[in-house]
Amino acid sequence: MPALPSAVGNAGRYTTVAMILHWIVALGILALLGIGLIMKHGGLPPQRMFQLFQLHKSIGITVLFAVILRLIWRLTHAAPALPATMPRIERKTAHAGHIALYALMLGLPLLGWGVVSASAFSIPTVLFGEIPWPDLPVLPNMDHKDVAEGILTALHKYGAWLMIALLAAHIGAVLRHRFVLHDGVAGRMIFLPRFSKTPHSPSVRKA
Protein backbone atom coordinates (compact mmCIF):
# COMPACT_ATOMS: atom_id res chain seq x y z
CA MET A 1 0.00 0.00 0.00
CA PRO A 2 1.53 3.37 -0.96
CA ALA A 3 2.36 5.76 1.84
CA LEU A 4 0.01 8.66 2.45
CA PRO A 5 1.19 12.13 1.46
CA SER A 6 2.72 13.96 4.36
CA ALA A 7 0.52 16.34 6.34
CA VAL A 8 3.63 17.80 7.89
CA GLY A 9 4.90 21.25 7.04
CA ASN A 10 8.16 22.89 8.06
CA ALA A 11 9.83 21.81 11.29
CA GLY A 12 7.44 18.90 11.86
CA ARG A 13 4.29 21.01 11.79
CA TYR A 14 1.03 20.11 10.13
CA THR A 15 0.45 21.72 6.74
CA THR A 16 -1.20 25.10 6.37
CA VAL A 17 -4.44 23.44 5.21
CA ALA A 18 -4.54 21.21 8.30
CA MET A 19 -3.83 24.14 10.61
CA ILE A 20 -6.48 26.37 9.02
CA LEU A 21 -9.13 23.65 9.31
CA HIS A 22 -8.05 22.89 12.89
CA TRP A 23 -8.47 26.50 14.00
CA ILE A 24 -11.74 27.04 12.13
CA VAL A 25 -13.16 24.01 13.94
CA ALA A 26 -11.63 24.96 17.30
CA LEU A 27 -12.91 28.54 17.25
CA GLY A 28 -16.29 27.38 15.97
CA ILE A 29 -16.65 24.86 18.78
CA LEU A 30 -15.71 27.43 21.42
CA ALA A 31 -18.28 29.83 19.95
CA LEU A 32 -20.95 27.11 19.93
CA LEU A 33 -20.28 26.15 23.54
CA GLY A 34 -20.34 29.79 24.64
CA ILE A 35 -23.56 30.56 22.76
CA GLY A 36 -25.14 27.38 24.09
CA LEU A 37 -24.37 28.33 27.69
CA ILE A 38 -25.70 31.87 27.15
CA MET A 39 -28.94 30.54 25.63
CA LYS A 40 -29.38 28.11 28.51
CA HIS A 41 -28.50 30.36 31.43
CA GLY A 42 -28.54 33.94 30.11
CA GLY A 43 -32.21 34.73 30.70
CA LEU A 44 -32.41 36.56 27.38
CA PRO A 45 -35.58 38.05 25.83
CA PRO A 46 -37.23 35.92 23.10
CA GLN A 47 -36.01 38.03 20.17
CA ARG A 48 -32.40 37.88 21.33
CA MET A 49 -32.74 34.15 22.02
CA PHE A 50 -34.04 33.61 18.47
CA GLN A 51 -31.06 35.49 17.01
CA LEU A 52 -28.57 33.46 19.04
CA PHE A 53 -30.37 30.24 18.14
CA GLN A 54 -30.03 31.02 14.43
CA LEU A 55 -26.37 31.93 14.90
CA HIS A 56 -25.79 28.71 16.84
CA LYS A 57 -27.29 26.68 13.99
CA SER A 58 -25.28 28.58 11.37
CA ILE A 59 -21.97 28.04 13.14
CA GLY A 60 -22.87 24.41 13.86
CA ILE A 61 -23.43 23.57 10.19
CA THR A 62 -20.22 25.41 9.27
CA VAL A 63 -18.28 23.39 11.85
CA LEU A 64 -19.83 20.16 10.57
CA PHE A 65 -18.55 20.73 7.04
CA ALA A 66 -15.16 21.96 8.28
CA VAL A 67 -14.81 18.77 10.34
CA ILE A 68 -15.69 16.63 7.32
CA LEU A 69 -13.03 18.42 5.26
CA ARG A 70 -10.55 18.07 8.10
CA LEU A 71 -11.27 14.36 8.45
CA ILE A 72 -10.83 13.79 4.70
CA TRP A 73 -7.52 15.67 4.85
CA ARG A 74 -6.41 13.66 7.88
CA LEU A 75 -7.26 10.32 6.25
CA THR A 76 -5.35 11.21 3.09
CA HIS A 77 -2.31 12.87 4.67
CA ALA A 78 -0.06 11.31 7.30
CA ALA A 79 0.21 13.17 10.60
CA PRO A 80 3.59 14.15 12.05
CA ALA A 81 5.16 11.44 14.17
CA LEU A 82 4.96 11.72 17.93
CA PRO A 83 8.26 11.97 19.84
CA ALA A 84 10.06 8.64 20.16
CA THR A 85 10.38 9.29 23.90
CA MET A 86 6.60 9.40 24.43
CA PRO A 87 5.45 6.37 26.48
CA ARG A 88 3.17 3.88 24.75
CA ILE A 89 0.29 4.51 27.15
CA GLU A 90 0.41 8.24 26.34
CA ARG A 91 0.37 7.48 22.61
CA LYS A 92 -2.69 5.27 23.01
CA THR A 93 -4.40 7.86 25.23
CA ALA A 94 -3.72 10.63 22.72
CA HIS A 95 -5.07 8.46 19.89
CA ALA A 96 -8.23 7.58 21.84
CA GLY A 97 -8.74 11.23 22.77
CA HIS A 98 -8.53 12.33 19.14
CA ILE A 99 -11.02 9.65 18.07
CA ALA A 100 -13.42 10.82 20.79
CA LEU A 101 -13.01 14.46 19.73
CA TYR A 102 -13.70 13.63 16.08
CA ALA A 103 -16.78 11.62 17.09
CA LEU A 104 -18.14 14.57 19.07
CA MET A 105 -17.17 17.15 16.45
CA LEU A 106 -19.24 15.21 13.92
CA GLY A 107 -21.94 13.98 16.28
CA LEU A 108 -22.89 17.19 18.08
CA PRO A 109 -23.72 19.22 14.95
CA LEU A 110 -25.69 16.27 13.57
CA LEU A 111 -27.58 15.93 16.85
CA GLY A 112 -28.31 19.66 16.86
CA TRP A 113 -29.54 19.42 13.28
CA GLY A 114 -31.74 16.54 14.37
CA VAL A 115 -33.18 18.56 17.27
CA VAL A 116 -34.14 21.37 14.89
CA SER A 117 -35.61 18.92 12.38
CA ALA A 118 -37.76 17.18 15.01
CA SER A 119 -38.87 20.39 16.75
CA ALA A 120 -42.60 21.03 17.01
CA PHE A 121 -41.92 24.73 16.33
CA SER A 122 -40.67 23.98 12.78
CA ILE A 123 -38.54 27.14 12.76
CA PRO A 124 -36.75 27.47 9.40
CA THR A 125 -32.96 27.45 9.46
CA VAL A 126 -31.32 30.24 7.47
CA LEU A 127 -27.55 30.12 7.69
CA PHE A 128 -26.15 33.54 8.63
CA GLY A 129 -29.44 35.07 7.51
CA GLU A 130 -28.74 34.27 3.86
CA ILE A 131 -28.81 30.53 3.02
CA PRO A 132 -32.00 28.47 3.62
CA TRP A 133 -31.05 25.11 5.11
CA PRO A 134 -33.23 21.97 5.00
CA ASP A 135 -34.23 19.74 7.88
CA LEU A 136 -32.91 16.21 8.07
CA PRO A 137 -35.18 13.77 6.22
CA VAL A 138 -37.82 11.69 8.07
CA LEU A 139 -37.69 13.57 11.38
CA PRO A 140 -40.11 16.44 10.54
CA ASN A 141 -42.91 14.04 9.57
CA MET A 142 -42.37 11.13 11.93
CA ASP A 143 -44.93 10.04 14.52
CA HIS A 144 -44.14 10.99 18.13
CA LYS A 145 -41.41 13.34 17.00
CA ASP A 146 -41.62 15.04 20.39
CA VAL A 147 -40.05 11.87 21.84
CA ALA A 148 -37.29 11.98 19.22
CA GLU A 149 -36.72 15.67 19.96
CA GLY A 150 -36.37 14.96 23.68
CA ILE A 151 -33.87 12.16 23.12
CA LEU A 152 -31.82 14.16 20.63
CA THR A 153 -31.85 17.22 22.91
CA ALA A 154 -30.56 15.16 25.85
CA LEU A 155 -27.81 13.60 23.74
CA HIS A 156 -26.84 17.04 22.42
CA LYS A 157 -26.72 18.49 25.93
CA TYR A 158 -24.66 15.74 27.55
CA GLY A 159 -22.44 15.49 24.49
CA ALA A 160 -21.65 19.20 24.86
CA TRP A 161 -20.57 18.68 28.47
CA LEU A 162 -18.41 15.74 27.39
CA MET A 163 -16.88 17.96 24.71
CA ILE A 164 -16.01 20.56 27.37
CA ALA A 165 -14.28 17.85 29.43
CA LEU A 166 -12.33 16.54 26.45
CA LEU A 167 -11.31 20.04 25.39
CA ALA A 168 -10.04 20.74 28.91
CA ALA A 169 -7.99 17.53 28.80
CA HIS A 170 -6.71 18.38 25.31
CA ILE A 171 -5.66 21.90 26.31
CA GLY A 172 -4.04 20.53 29.47
CA ALA A 173 -2.02 18.06 27.38
CA VAL A 174 -0.91 20.83 25.00
CA LEU A 175 0.24 22.99 27.93
CA ARG A 176 2.12 20.03 29.41
CA HIS A 177 3.95 19.43 26.13
CA ARG A 178 4.75 23.13 25.83
CA PHE A 179 5.85 24.06 29.35
CA VAL A 180 6.89 20.75 30.95
CA LEU A 181 8.11 18.36 28.26
CA HIS A 182 9.35 20.93 25.70
CA ASP A 183 9.14 18.25 23.00
CA GLY A 184 7.75 20.36 20.14
CA VAL A 185 4.34 18.67 20.05
CA ALA A 186 2.51 21.83 21.14
CA GLY A 187 3.89 23.79 18.19
CA ARG A 188 2.71 21.49 15.43
CA MET A 189 -0.67 23.23 15.00
CA ILE A 190 0.31 26.88 15.32
CA PHE A 191 1.50 29.38 12.72
CA LEU A 192 3.88 31.20 15.07
CA PRO A 193 7.58 30.28 15.29
CA ARG A 194 7.90 27.08 17.25
CA PHE A 195 9.89 27.30 20.45
CA SER A 196 10.95 23.83 21.47
CA LYS A 197 13.90 22.23 23.09
CA THR A 198 14.72 18.60 23.61
CA PRO A 199 15.48 17.78 27.25
CA HIS A 200 19.14 17.08 27.97
CA SER A 201 20.21 18.12 24.46
CA PRO A 202 22.77 20.92 24.05
CA SER A 203 21.78 23.97 22.04
CA VAL A 204 23.37 24.29 18.63
CA ARG A 205 24.76 27.70 17.82
CA LYS A 206 24.88 28.76 14.19
CA ALA A 207 28.19 30.03 12.91
- Element spanning 98, H or E: helix 88-118
Q: How many helices (H) and strands (E) does the chain have?
A: 4, 2
Is 181 domain-assigned?
yes
Give the Cα separation of 96 and 101 in Å (integer).
Answer: 9
> Confidence class of residue 7 from pLDDT cuts 50, 70 and 90?
low
pLDDT at 4: 63
Number of domains into which the chain is organized: 1
Tell me the percentage of the chain whose pLDDT exceeds 70: 87
- Are the C-beta atoms of 112 and 158 separated by less than 8 Å? no
* Domain span at 96: 10-81+89-187
Residue 80: left if φ>0, alpha if ψ -120 to 50, beta else—which one?
beta
Which tens digit of pLDDT belongs to each residue from 14-50? 999 999 999 999 999 999 999 999 999 999 999 999 9
Is 4 domain-assigned?
no
- Are the C-beta atoms of 130 and 118 separated by less than 8 Å? no
Residue 5 has pLDDT above 90, yes or no: no
CATH label of the domain that carries residue 23: 1.20.950.20
Is 117 domain-assigned?
yes
More confident of the two residues 90 and 7: 90
Give the Cα separation of 129 and 147 in Å (integer).
Answer: 29
Is 202 domain-assigned?
no
More confident of the two residues 162 and 6: 162
Is 200 domain-assigned?
no
Is 193 domain-assigned?
no
Is 194 domain-assigned?
no
Is 199 domain-assigned?
no
pLDDT at 69: 98
> Confidence class of residue 12 from pLDDT cuts 50, 70 and 90?
confident
Handedness of CA 58, 62, 65, 68 (dihedral sign): negative
- Element spanning 145, H or E: helix 145-176
pLDDT at 146: 94
Q: What pTM value is reported for the model?
A: 0.86
